Every structure is written in C-alpha cells, then in structure tokens.
Structure 1
Amino acid sequence: MGEGGTVLKTVDAAVSWHSLPSGTSLPLSRVKFLDSVTGWVLGSNSVLRTTDGGLDWSSASLSDTTHLVDLWFRDRLTGWAVGYEGTAWWWGGSGYHGVIFETTDGGGSWTRQLVDSLHSYFRLIYFLNDQDGWAIPGFKTTDGGSTWNRDSTFENVVAIQIIGCSEWFLHDDGTLLRSLDCGISWQQISIPLAPGEVAAISFSDQLEGWIVTGASPSKILKTSDGGSVWVNQTRGRTDWLLSTYFRDRDVGWVMGDHGTILRTTDGGNAWQQQDGGVDVMLWSMKFADALRGWIVGDSGKILKTSDGGDTWAIEATVANLRLECVDFVNANTGWIAAGYTGPGTILKTTDGGHTWMTQLSDPSLWLLFVRFLDTDTGWVTGAGGVILKTTDGGTTWIRQPSGTSNWLLAMQVLDPHTVVAVGWGSILKTTNGGTTWSPASGATTGYSESVRFIGEEVGYAVGNDGSIAKTTDAGSTWEAQRNVSAEGLYYVDFADAETGWAVGYNGTILKTTTGGVVSAVKDLNDRRPSSFVLEQNFPNPFNSRTVIRYELPAQTQVRIAVYDILGREVATLVDGVQPAGTNQTDFEGSRLSSGVYFYRLATRGEGEAVTKKLVLAR
C-alpha cells in the first residue's frame, strides 16, 4: 500500500504484483490480514476492510482530526487502531494527544477507547495473545483490551517482535528488551546502534532474527542466539568517505562515517578495514612522516599511528567538539580546526598530539580547515567566508577579507604568498599572503569541498555535485573535467602528477592514472543509482542548516517538504519544475526545536515519492 490509495497484491511469493482498486486516493500506511481473504488497510483517518482478498473494499471513516498509524485485529470482529488526534496549538487548537480506537464489528464502526493527554501519539499496538497487549508508548492491557494501564517499561519502544513466549522490544536509544517467559521477566541487551538509528526488528524463529536501521548509512544486524549477540551483516560500504591520503601510488587510506578507516596497498584495487576504536565521523587525516600520522573526528576524538598506519589508537579526547581538520608540520607540532558542536576552536600541540592547548575559541565562528606553511605561518577557513591568518604559530590570529559569505571548506598553501581556498560557490586565490583575495575564473565546481595541488601550477578541486575541476595556472582559472560520479565528492589527493583519488558519499572512491581521465576503481557498495534518487541530507545531524541532494532522470514537477514526527508539514523547500540531473536545496532549521524530522520528495510527472529522516541537534 502507499500514496494515492495504492494497494498491491502478490499471489506468487512476490515475483509479480498487481494493483487492486481501494476506492480512495488517500495515502495508505498499514495492512493486516487474518487469512487469504479477510484483511484491513489503514489510511490517515479511515480503515478499509476486504472479505474477498482485496477485490472489494469497504471504508469506515473517523473525524478529520484523527490520524491513525497502526492497527491490530484479534479475530474477524475485534480489533484496535492507534494514532493521534487534535489540532496544532499554533492553528488555534489544543494540541495533539494519543488515542486508541476499538471495533467489535470487523471495522464497520469504531469507538474511542482511550485518550492519553500525556503522550501526543501512539505509534504501535501489539498483542501477545487474547489477553496481553501493548499500545506504545506507555500502555499495557491484560484483559484483552477492555482496559489499558500505564506501563513505563515500554515508553520509547519503536518496534516489537513476539514469537510464542519470546518477546523483543526495540527502543529508540539503541537498546533491546527481551523476555523469554511471556513478559514475566525482562533482560536489557545492548546492540551496536546509536540512538535514532533503529527502525525495525524481525525474527524467523526464537533464535534467528534481524534488525534494520532507517538511518544513513543503513545497517543490517543478525542474531542466531535469540538476541544475546548481534553481528553487523551489512554488505559492502555505504559510509560517507570524507578524507583520503596516499603515501605513494600503492599505499593509501580513506576514512569517514562510523569510524571507517580503510587501507589499500595495491593502489585501490582492494581495501582492508582498520580498527580505530571509535564509532564517530572521522573528518581529516595528516601524516608528518612515513611513520607518524593523525586522524580527527567527532566527539573530540584524535587517533594516532606510530607504525606507518598499520595500527591506529586513540591518542587524546578533547572537548566535545567536531574536529574538522588536522595539520602537522613536523612530528611534534600540529593544529586542529573545530566547530559545529561548540565554539569555533583552534587547538595546538607541541608533543605529537598527546596534549592540546586552545589558541582560539569564538562562539561566532565555525572553523572547517587549517593549513600551515611552517611552524609560524598558517591559515584557517570556515563558514561565512571566514579566513584567519597567523604568523606566530597561532598565538594571534587576524581575520582577512575574503569578499564572500560562502563557506570555505578547504585550501592549499603553495608558498608564503600564494594560497587557494575553495568552498560552496567560491574558489579564491591570494598572491600577497591573504591581504586581498580574488575569485577564480572558468569552470569551477559549484560546491567545492576539497582542493589538491601537484607542484605550484597544477591542481584539482572536487565538489559535492560529483564534479572535478583542474587548474594549470596555480588556481587563477579552472577547467571542468566532467561529472564522473553520481555521488558527491568530498576529498581529493594525488600521489604524483598522474595518479590521484577522490572519495565521497555512499562509499565512492574514484581513481585517475592519467591526471584526470577518471575511472571508478571502487564503489564500495557497488551502488547503481536509480533514475529517481533522494540523497541523505548532509551534514546529519545538523545544527541549523543542511543540504539535500536529489537526482531526476528528466525535467519534472518536484515538491520537497519537511515534516515533524507527527506528520505535520513544517517547511516547503522546493515546489516547482526542476531540471534533469543532480539538484540540491538547503534546509534552514533554526526556527525549529531539536528532534527527528522527515523530508519527502514527490514528483508529479513520474508519480514517485520517497521519504528520509534527518536529525536537528540544536
């Protein structure tokens, strides 16, 4: 079932599907069948019933302010539906509250059984047997649904599976409650998922089960012992790869989301997973020499290797900051630029990364990139066109006029006078140490994420629209090489003038051995984009602004809207004809409260729709 009253049926184990007339054009969200002929489908404020396998449907409607999200039938006559009802207070209403409806005539009529003013909605209803059931969050019945009593044990449950007397309740904080004695006693089990990742759970028997996530990148966990131990079964990689470093043509690393560190020793033909002991976004890597290197990421994590990248370990954890970029000029002296989860911060070490001192902390800044020419002279770039320079090793920083308010995400220092900075909608160059900056000309990437020079004249910039641009005059002019990736590219590195790599979203790694004629050596999840693609927003979680990319096979009418967890529209981002190819839009969430939201893209011409989740963390 789905949008526009769609109901599909299969009679050959899902080999083929055919459409059934539902009699409604409203979206349908849940289905429940007792046997091959008797079933119900849930709409927003109605319940459809069939007694002939879906050939004909009858409908029972509730009030316009009722929104149903789940249903359960004990037999052909008795069932329940849960959801919420009310009107938003900013529309002059009294707000929303959870509601339970009961039917005793097979869905022909429904009676409001419980209204819960404490919870704004119910998301699930499930019965273990004729007597014991749950309405999630917060209620349980032991008398077949005649009465419902509060039960805080299941307050934050997002999915339930019950087989016999074995019960599994999956919570939104990444924990699992399990009972093997019909709910008499419960055991809490930790699973390798972060809060907000969990989506669904299913068991084939009392031992073998799976958990899937709705977050990006998606995961599949499997258990073979009833839920005590869970193993990540996700095939390939769908992580965002955010940085790369190659020592030579053969040996290199990429890193990114969920603590991903991958190493190759054969030029990228094969990659081995390395363990850094963290499960956070890793943003940047820097080697000072052949043996010593550092990786920085979210939650203030700093990793170090002293054996040439064979092993990595946590060297330090600083304040709860997103460490965006790291740079070292020798084995002892280095800097980190940080922001997003705290004030714009510059950190410095003089003992190889073991301890770090704060050189700058400014709540008005979000710093994204740092590069030093030597132990004294360096630059930092950030959001809002910020460029800072120091000539005393970071003791003092002076802001330079960039002439742009665009985010500046990366740069390369070519000599004491020449620096090239790239960002969203901008490639800038200075030839006087930053006193003045001038925009580059020619074909540049619209949303440049990274820049890398080989020598003083030849350089490459990659963008989150999959584009690559090249310069042969030290960054004054740029020529587009072509969009070689359906995925956004986040970082570029070269081992020599001919051999380079670019990494990006959804596990993408590209390689060139001809100085820009690019072939994809490894798309780590072997992903083939469909004709209609909605990407995960980036960054996610985000503080106030995030970017949403989408791909269209042809020009068509597009609408992108954002909804809160109750399905209320809170923002319209796109509503009009959009061109074929890769497009993107920004979502500004500063007026909203922290929490989980959903963004939905629908096309008129193709009749397609897809929804993804985003997290606003203020």
Structure 2
Amino acid sequence: MMYNPMKETRTARALVMAALALLASPTKAQEPGDILWSTTLEQTVSATHSRPALGPDGTLYVMVKDLFAIAPDGALRWRAPLQSLSVSTVGVSADGQVHISADFGPQKVVIAYNPDGVEQWRTTVDATTSAFYGPSVGPGGDLFAVVGSQGGALGAFALASTGALRWNASGFTDEGTNVKSRDVPLGSDRFFVSERGVPCSPTGWGTAALSFAGDLLWCVPGLVQLRPDVGPGDVVYGIGFNVLTKFSSDGDVLWRFPFPPPVEPLEAPTVGPDGTIYVPEGNELWAFEPDGSVRYHIESGLGSAFGRVSVSPDGQVLLYPVGGSTRELIALDTASGSVLWRTALPYPPDGPPTFSADGQVAYVARWGGPQAPSELMAFYVGDPMTTSRPTADLPSGHVLSVVYPNPFNPQARFTLEVAQSQSVTIAVFDALGRRVALLQDGPLPSGAAHTFTLDGAGLPSGVYVVRALGETFESARTVTLLR
C-alpha cells in the first residue's frame, strides 16, 4: 500500500516541551466548541487575515499595532509598544525568538525579541510599497520575506538570526493586491512567492520558488493569484482565475481543477498533514486528494468562509471560520466533511485559527475595527479521538487501543485489531507533523489484537500522534513523552 506521509513542516524545533500539552489544554471537563477564555488587546487595526503565532512554550503572539505575548491561559505576558501602521506576520524560531515586521510609514523594519519581550535587534528594510510578506522562520533560523523591489528596494530577501542581510533578489514588484496573506509559505529548502510582478512575469501574476540560499529555482507566469500552500515533497497548490493548480517541486504543472460555474469567491488552499487539499468557495468547501480527485464537496450549510481554513496537527479536525452576519467557528471531520460542532462568535473572525501543539485548543483572533477592539479567543477542540471520528464512521471490529502508559518514558504499548486482513501502516508523528517512527507497513492478519511498542529513546519530550491507516479504516491516538 502506498503511504502518504504527513506534511513536512517548515520549522525544526530542537524541543517540543511536554508541559505544552498541559499548559495549552483545559484543566476541567469541557465540551468541544466551548470558549475557554477571551482576551482584549485594546487596539484596533484594519483586517489582514493573519493568524496568531504559537511559541515552543505555548505562548501566543499577536501583532496589532503593538506586539502582544499571551500565555496559554489568556493572561498578558508582555507587550512591545510599536504603534505600527500595519499588522505583521509573527515568526517564532525554535529557540523562542519572536520576529515581526513593523511599518513606520516610509520606514519598514524587522524586529526580533527574546521570549521575555526584550528587543534583540532591528533591521531597516527599504520598501516602495506597503505590502510586506513575512518574516517566516526557516529550519535553520534564517528569516524570509518579500517586499516590492521597485526603486532599488530589496524584493525577496533573507536575514540571518542576528538580523544581518544574507541576500536579496530583485524582480518582485507587488502592488499590495495580495493582502489576504502576509506570511511566506516555506518548503523543506525553499520558499514561494505568488504575486503581481515576479521575475518571469514583471507586470502580471506569477509564482516563483527561491531556495533558502537565494537561487531562483523556478518561476511560472499566471495561474496563481492567492497565497499558495505547500504539500509533501515541496509540491505547491495555488488558486487563480477560478482554477486550482498543482505544481511539482520543479515547477511543472501536474494537474488543474477548474471550479464549475458559477464560482463563488475562493479562498487560498490549505494542505492538511496527510496531503489533502481544502479550498473554501463561498459557503461551500472542497476537499481534494493529492491526485486531483475530489474527496468531497459540501455544497451548503456552512456559511461563507472568512479566510483560509486550519487543520489540526494530526489532520483529523478542520476549523472553518465564518464571517459576515453568521459569525461562527465550525469544526469538521476531515475524513467525511461532517460537522462535529459549531460555535457562535461574538465578532467576525479575521484569518485562520491556530491550534495548540496537542490540537486540543484553537485560537481565533479579531483584529478590531470601529465598533470593537482587537480580541483573542481560545476554544476547546477536544481529544481528536472523541471529537473527529464518530463511532458510526469506523468499521466495526477495527480497534486501536489507547497508548499505555500515557505519559510514558521510555516505552509505551498499544494494540490494533482489524476485522479484515489488509495492509496497514502505523506511523508516529511529532507535534509539528513530522514522521518520527514507522511501526508497521504491510499486511496485518485479522482475528487477533496485535501489540506494538513505541520506543521513545532518542525522541524529545512532547506530544506525539500514533496513526493507523488501513485499506478500510484509519484511526489515531495521542500520547505524551515526559522525561
């Protein structure tokens, strides 16, 4: 059986603390969709569709005009006074250093803070437009961002973790039209830019891939108008002109899916950890397999998505933020698209939610406006095993036991019973979606409970997902390694 590994993510943490699961999760029984807390940020700014950033210790970072650091329980940890004219993406490195871009009118700067809120450095960036994408933090700690390069400005560029300019590439002339996304999507060794004005399309839309060293790997004119997303193997999915396009890691077009008319407003795609692609279209949701076939299409009943959707770290729960007069946060089962729960919001959300590392809490932001200040809310998502896979969806007789002991050190065990003999893959993933162990990949006979051992030797403390994928079922369990 061909196994589709979970998505390689863009940061390589040295340590994901096991305490994070305790900090980010509720301490008492909650119902999925319950509001855990709400924190007012006292400032207003125009909507930017940015999302809160999660630090390695569970701290949340949100940029309004100032930068706010919020503890997992909603308390304010610190605030950096900036009075920036625009909202920035927040990039957090593996050591907890926080990076933002600030707009002071004619001057644009990138600023780094340590986890305690002490400024470490600031680098002035020449920019001829207000559009500034990034900074996004790469695996090695370098920062990647894009500004317009007219008039000698930097264009695409990289900064070292010290703030020094590593390189820049001209030929990017964005006019600020792609304002719904301000982060830079990263692959394993490259990053991607889709905007109006790239090296192969100076005056029109295009998509470019640049290596972390600054080399132009490929560039394709047209096709994409919204922020692309990256799948396993550095394949890229982008939407433009009412068509979803998949590019290979070399920039070749692998397939295109034209949305049937009449086409409602499309949002940027989101690639789940298992490679599934999710695209909101007005009040509809499309889910695509990596080969371009449609997994499901929900035609009504959701409300119009407000920005991109978010998928939990284990790939089982999809959060669908709804704006307009509906104002809801909707949780869907990624396997079937069925609604797990929906919660009314006191305000329209602004951008995709952010999950805690264990996937049990989601954070939704509103960046404020004339009627209300900015606000950050935390929602209980629940254990994905009880939330995202209703019993009726699982074939009778396929049972993945709990992992015991939990927490564990250094070993834990679990059993899997299958009703039919079939090929089964059992893999273990860390909180960032990286596969760290493969316990089974081949035929598994029925008629008995098969025992498997998870050996934590060589793994850092943290939350892990054990996922079993068969020909007729899939199931998963979460477990914590605590040294």
Is TM more than 0.5 here?
A: no
Larger Rg: 1
TM-score (norm 1): 0.35
- Greater RCO structure (CA 8 Å; 6+ sep): 2
